[in-house]
Amino acid sequence: MFCDLVGSTALSEQLDPEELREVVRVYQEACTAVIHRFEGYIARYVGDALLVYFGYPAAHEDDAQRAVRAGLGIIAALPALNVQIQQKGGTTTPVSLQVHIGIHTGLVVVGEMSSGEYREQMALGETPNLAARLQGLAEPDTIVITHATQQLIAGLFDCHDLGPQALKGVAALVQVYCVLGESNAQSRLDVEVSTGRLTPLVGRAHEVGLILERWTAAQAGDGQVVLLSGEPGIGKSRLVQEVKERVVQQRATYLEFRCSLYSQNSALYPVITHLYRLLHVERDDTAQAKLAKLQQSLAHYRFPQAGTLPLLAALLSLPQPPDALALNLSPQKQKQKTQEALVAWLVEEAERASVYCAWEDLHWADPSTLELLGLLLNQVPTTRLLVLLTARPEFTPPWSSRTHLTPLTLARLPRTQAAELIEKVTDGKLLPMEVHQQIVSKTDGVPLFVEELTKMVLESGVLREMEGYYELIGPLPPLAIPATLQDSLMARLDRLTTGKEVAQLGATLGREFSYELIEAVSPLDESTLQHALAKLVEAEVLYQRGIGPSA
């Protein structure tokens, strides 16, 4: 991401050097705070411009999204920043700071560059150069991105197509887009559902059947909880969607709470976002309009309104109702009362009709949300509630085992079901056998990998579509990792520290290698190597056959 101040030359003519230095310092501090929130790495300050890397030094599964969110965050922070500069009396001239931002995604080589005592981590390749050229196209307070970035954020942000553009130093025209803002979609699955591109569910008959059994019990008044766990891409959200579609057909109530990677420090974030959706709050609603919607929604319930309304208004950062008693509670007591009010609301909802309630991505849940869930789980057995929780394997539930709680782990698809999923993606058209076998072999039964690798092959231009099948145009090139999975896989490896180097070394040896061979070529000592391999096996990056030196 390349971020640059608009009209900095004019600003330097308006202000004396001391004033300008103070303005730039405050601006850089504000940008840094936003960038660090999304775990970007500021590679360089160039006057009033910033060069920022996302995905270095540690990869995340959503680095393109992080870059765009950081850009939007910087733009959103500027109006308050302008007020702050004036209030501090930093300048005698009114200041209105604006930025233009360019973002491009691609592979780079990062290494230390030095000149005398000066050293910096430098990304080499066309990606940073292209990002710098793009910001020159951006209007004030806008973000311009390339097609490579747009593909990774499509549907999650609203974008305006600016068409092919000629950029200085770039031979071919570059397709660019202007980011307008976040869309209403919360995940890639939401995007696929809204566009009608959701791939039919393959396998998982046992899991769907078990959850529907628990749903039948919940409908009879024996509330149930199912904790669904599995690695990224294994299909947790897809399973939640499948059950949702079946439950909605029965005209049951469906409630959805989703934890966010970006809001792990925001108390009750999934509840607040759910309430805003439930109340149909619009971006341009005033605080009073939001309060009226909350009041209107609560009026249909029996629980005490006088105590509940002020608590929920405070939770949503709304003004207190005119006739409400002052809360006068300690922060801890107010949190407890708010959680009790939310549980009472859910329980009464389940008294009116059976409720299917999904809480997704608990590995990102904030502590207050987990406390609320603990209170809710105590109430579930005597209600008509099915609570479906999803989390990655690293999530450790803070509550003890319960008779009404069913743990369910999603396994990878067997080869036959992976092959069936490929046919769903190709709409039943057969792929050449060598392509089909490579996809099945390289995706290891992870549904997301199967889908994305198949889509990449279909879009790569190596196949010709025929009547009922595809044929290769020429020799089959090695199947690269799709850009949509690159960040996810790198993030997984980065979490393994030493294991990352061993995995990369193993990958140069092939999809299968002996312990004897990797020990011979590894610079690590025997103990460190064995520990790293054990971590990779535990994380299911590797599978081990055999024991000791003969593995």
Q: What is the pLDDT of residues 162-179, one digit of tens each?
A: 999 888 878 888 899 999
Spatial distance between the Cα atoms of 505 and 527, rounded to a whole number of angstroms: 17
Residue 540 has pLDDT above 70, yes or no: yes
- Residue 429's closest CA among 460, 454, 447? 454
- pLDDT over 90 percentage in the chain: 44
The rounded mean pLDDT for the chain is: 87
Q: What is the mean pLDDT of residues 7-34?
A: 84
pLDDT digits (tens, 9 = 90+) for 216-234: 999 999 999 999 999 888 9
Name the E strands within 34-98. 41-46, 49-53
Q: What is the mean pLDDT of residues 397-420?
A: 92
* Model confidence band, residue 127 (pLDDT cutoffs 50, 70, 90): confident
* Model confidence band, residue 132 (pLDDT cutoffs 50, 70, 90): confident
Of the CA atoms within 13 Å of residue 189, those in its CB half-sphere come to 16
Spatial distance between the Cα atoms of 17 and 459, rounded to a whole number of angstroms: 54
Are 310 and 316 spatial neighbours (Cβ–Cβ below 8 Å)? no
Which region among 80-94, 257-271, 335-349, 494-508 has the lowest average model confidence (pLDDT)?
80-94
Of the CA atoms within 13 Å of residue 275, those in its CB half-sphere come to 24
Name the E strands within 370-449. 385-391, 405-409
Residue 515 has pLDDT above 70, yes or no: yes
What's the sign of the alpha-carbon dihedral 318, 374, 274, 309? negative
Are 370 and 395 spatial neighbours (Cβ–Cβ below 8 Å)? no
User: According to the model, what pLDDT value does residue 88 have?
Assistant: 59
Residue 513 has pLDDT above 70, yes or no: yes
User: According to the model, what pLDDT value does residue 92 have?
Assistant: 57
Q: What is the mean pLDDT of residues 525-544?
A: 90
Are 443 and 231 spatial neighbours (Cβ–Cβ below 8 Å)? no
* Model confidence band, residue 330 (pLDDT cutoffs 50, 70, 90): confident
Are 549 and 516 spatial neighbours (Cβ–Cβ below 8 Å)? yes
Residue type, 77: A
Q: Which of 17-31, 107-121, 262-276, 356-370 has the highest mean pLDDT?
A: 356-370
For the chain, what is the largest distance between any 2 Cα atoms, rounded to a whole number of angstroms?
77
Spatial distance between the Cα atoms of 213 and 550, rounded to a whole number of angstroms: 46
* Model confidence band, residue 91 (pLDDT cutoffs 50, 70, 90): low
User: According to the model, what pLDDT value does residue 79 have?
Assistant: 87
Between CA 440 and CA 481, with CA 502 as vertex, the angle to 5 degrees is: 35
User: According to the model, what pLDDT value does residue 101 have?
Assistant: 94
Residue 233: DSSP 8-state: T
Residue type, 290: K
- Assign a CATH topology to domain 198-409: Rossmann fold (3.40.50)
Residue 312 has pLDDT above 80, yes or no: yes
Q: What is the mean pLDDT of residues 274-299?
A: 85
User: How many other CB atoms are there within 10 angstroms of residue 547's CB atom?
Assistant: 8
Spatial distance between the Cα atoms of 167 and 11, rounded to a whole number of angstroms: 27
Q: Where are the domains of the chain?
A: 2-183, 198-409, 415-480, 496-550
Residue 243 in tokens: 């059950």
pTM of the model: 0.83
Spatial distance between the Cα atoms of 417 and 413, rounded to a whole number of angstroms: 6
Backbone angles phi, psi at 48, to 5 degrees: -100, 15
Spatial distance between the Cα atoms of 491 and 510, rounded to a whole number of angstroms: 21
User: How many other CB atoms are there within 10 angstroms of residue 281's CB atom?
Assistant: 15
Spatial distance between the Cα atoms of 410 and 104, rounded to a whole number of angstroms: 35
* Model confidence band, residue 473 (pLDDT cutoffs 50, 70, 90): confident
User: According to the model, what pLDDT value does residue 87 have?
Assistant: 59
Angle of helix 447-459 relative to helix 483-494, nearest 10 degrees, comes to 140
Pseudo-torsion of CA 333, 337, 338, 342, nearest 10°?
150
Q: What is the mean pLDDT of residues 449-478?
A: 87
- Assign a CATH topology to domain 2-183: Alpha-Beta Plaits (3.30.70)
User: Higher-confidence residue: 108 or 305?
Assistant: 108
- Residue 428's closest CA among 391, 392, 467? 467
* Model confidence band, residue 304 (pLDDT cutoffs 50, 70, 90): confident
Residue 113 has pLDDT above 80, yes or no: no
Spatial distance between the Cα atoms of 408 and 309, rounded to a whole number of angstroms: 37
User: According to the model, what pLDDT value does residue 225 have?
Assistant: 95
Are 386 and 213 spatial neighbours (Cβ–Cβ below 8 Å)? no
Q: What is the mean pLDDT of residues 17-42?
A: 89
Q: Is the peptide bond before 57 cis (omega within 30 degrees of 0)?
A: yes
**DSSP line for 19-62:** HHHHHHHHHHHHHHHHHHHTT-EEEEEETTEEEEESSSSS--TT
User: According to the model, what pLDDT value does residue 117 have?
Assistant: 66
User: Higher-confidence residue: 100 or 123?
Assistant: 100
Residue type, 505: L
Residue type, 46: V
* Model confidence band, residue 93 (pLDDT cutoffs 50, 70, 90): low
End-to-end CA distance of the chain: 45
User: According to the model, what pLDDT value does residue 89 have?
Assistant: 55
Are 98 and 77 spatial neighbours (Cβ–Cβ below 8 Å)? no
- Residue 388's closest CA among 539, 253, 255? 255
Residue 281 has pLDDT above 70, yes or no: yes
Q: What is the mean pLDDT of residues 444-453?
A: 90
* Model confidence band, residue 114 (pLDDT cutoffs 50, 70, 90): low
